[in-house]
A and B are shown apart, each in its own frame.
Chain A
Amino acid sequence: MEIIPLRITLFFIALSFFVVVAKLIRKGKLHEKHALGWFLLGSGVLISGTFPHLVDRVAFYLDIHYPPILAICIGLVIILVQQLHLFILITRNETRIKQLTQEMALLNKLLEELIEAQEKAEKQPSGNIPE
């Protein structure tokens, strides 16, 4: 059986990631403001996957003796930062949902009061309305 070169495997994995990201952006499933980040990330994966020796080069200049660890470290940092960003967004959204729910409950109550007052006024149209 013939051996598939690692470079080809990497290229296809990276390419499929890039294509998925591009499709999601096109369909509007990733918001435009997030799109740029994902596009850059996809491009980075594609480049480092297609030219793995680039990673070796960079690792050498950074005094890293085992180059794959560089790729893993970069990946981990990106994931951590993203995770943090997501939790910030979740917290903000929770607060907003709470605000909305509270405000809605209050408005519902005020609306009910308004309707009741109106019905009362309609039932007894005598006296205080100047006509």
Chain B
Amino acid sequence: MTEIERHAVDVVVIGAGGAGLRAAIEARARGMRTAVVCKSLFGKAHTVMAEGGIAAAMGNVNPHDNWQVHFRDTMRGGKFLNNWRMAELHAQEAPDRVWELETYGALFDRTEDGRISQRNFGGHEYPRLAHVGDRTGLELIRSLQQQVVALQQADFREFGDYEAGLRVFAECTVTDVLLDGGRVAGAFGYWRESGRFVLFEAPAVVLATGGIGKSFKVTSNSWEYTGDGHALALRSGARLINMEFVQFHPTGMVWPPSVKGILVTESVRGDGGVLRNAEGRRFMFDYIPEVFKEKYADNEAEADRWYTDPDHNRRPPELLPRDEVARAINAEVKAGRGSPHGGVFLDVSSRLPAAEIIRRLPSMHHQFRELADVDITREPMEVGPTCHYVMGGVEVDPDTAGSRVPGLFAAGEVAGGMHGSNRLGGNSLSDLLVFGRRAGLGAAAYVTSLGQDKPVVAMADVDQARQRALAPFGGSPADGPPENPYTLHVELQQVMNDLVGIIRRSDEMELAVKKLDELKRRARNVVVEGHRQYNPGWHLALDLGNMLLVSECVARAALERTESRGGHTRDDFPQMDPEWRRALLACELARGPAGAEAEVRVSRHVQPPLRPDLLALFDLAELQKYFLDDELTDHPRWQLRERA
């Protein structure tokens, strides 16, 4: 075999978004030689697109806030399907992560007494999102990027080498995680620019690759979101959970066509924006579900008072969790009360003075003026749901972020469990920081525990990875016409959008599974032209395999779950079913008979029961809306209820 570029390190982090960089910083701090591998240029990761803020119960704006309230909100938002331990760690540690980011130099909007300001957001009981205007994600990435530069310059002063502790491999794609006896031994990838292969020999890999949105036609996600980490985990033997839950953000741009799907931040509603249908009606009052009736105002007067007096009024229903708002918009459009371009109206112009809109929502003002010729200080925006986030991901140990494959860790969007069936806005950036750090810690502890017993990369596996990567250059396929990756990608996006989208039905999903099978077969015949040097067609051909695998998980899991909950809405099973609350669907790759291709298998598992002290944080009456009676016997009020 030919020579290959090799790097021996302790930890490889795949992805340089918020979770990846935070993991890398932590691993290096624990003395690990760390490599960060990312598909884009350094500092361009999808995290930059997060607008609203970082949820953390610092209590700077409302002193009543604390981690217990944040925990409750997160569990409610996820309809109690969340991994409670992750939700607990997240709520407890988020404030420390925000303060730490501030010590890295992050800019934040400030309160009058100079502390970090916090804003309201859907599903959060108190103003909780630390933010920088509407460019919080950009600032988060920049602060972590700056921290990496600072650490590299410190390493240079100490070791004479900028990259002694932490090296970034930008525009480099990992295509395989390599194993040795079931344990992680390294990672194989290629430089996007030269097409040359690169081998990382490392006993620990942290997946921080983000989401899967590019499998859907209308999405707010950037091109990197092809489910790479999800697919790498599956192919390494890890399990994915909650894959049926995909969040459609209620407010994406719907017009003009070239920008369809681009996000309109939830801050517009947090700062007073309201949703109206074509008849001018604030329709969200018609869509407050039973479980939320006590928390949300049922009339405009009370909803409007809430902005200035939140302690004595209920919240406006525009700030319901995202799944509720997205479904409501979908229903209004279906009922023929949509806007001219198939959305609804989001109006902030009649709610705030123009100068205040420009101050609070500068990016939105700019985005609509530049791309849609709409002045949001004078007229409403047209918005509709857009695929935004996948709640599903790698099943991990909450404390260490480790998967069931020794040496394989996952953090951020690629990890599953934290958000249950639906993520609250603002809980993503905090998730990245909390579990990015924990993944870095977990990987470092694992590598240390190995001592001299390090897994070794087998060259036969490297050869196989190379052959797999080169397959699209293989020339004429044996069993059908050559296919091109762009066409297949477009078809995949259409299938997912039409058949496994925001509202789902069993016959449509069965059709989707069939179509995905067919696409998978055709994808084997993908042929690309040209050479390996910066060849976008080849890159897409490889990403396409990941998207197909992950899409299959979404479709099969969604077909299995016969209820509606959070980011999974079934037309044929519209109710939430407490039996399903404690059910967890897991996807894994099952090897068929020798020679046959591995296929996705979905299995049903029981959720670990909620710890009694966490159960006690909720009113029994609220829990009874979600849980079966036999799950609530540990609640302190259960016995009282029996006596009464």
**A-B complex is real:** no
Q: A: which residues have CB within 8 A of B?
A: none
B residues sitting closer than 8 Å to A (CB atoms) are: none
